[in-house]
Amino acid sequence: MKRTGLMLIAAALAGAASSIPAHAVPPTVTPSPGYEARLREQRASRAVVAPVVKSRRIKRRAH
């Protein structure tokens, strides 16, 4: 009886442990400080380069 009870407890623990999601990430997905800095610099330079140009309306002469 003890052996059966231990097997049931072990199976329950294994089932509970397998339901927890893994938090492992491959090294290519982890953020790199140098890469993040280059991205921020690139995004900041894009914001400065594109000036807003207003179009002029041409007035038509009334007949």
Which residue range is the domain that position 34 belongs to?
1-48
Look at residue 55 and tell me if it is in a domain. no
Q: Scan for tokens 């982890």, then name that residue.
A: 30
DSSP 28: T
In-domain check, residue 16: yes
Question: Looking at residue 18, what is its pLDDT?
Answer: 74
Domain assignment of residue 32, yes or no = yes
| 27 occurs within a structural domain | yes
- Does the residue 63 lie in any domain? no
User: Does some domain include residue 58?
Assistant: no
Residue 20 is classified by DSSP as S
Query: Under DSSP, is residue 22 helix (H, G, I), strand (E, B) or coil?
Result: coil
Specify if 59 maps to a domain. no
In a domain, 56, yes or no: no
**Cα–Cα distance measured from residue 3 to residue 11, given in angstroms and rounded to the nearest whole number:** 12
pLDDT tens, the chain, 63 aa long:
688 988 888 888 887 777 777 777 677 767 778 888 888 898 888 765 556 677 777 777 776
Count up the domains in the chain and report the number: 1
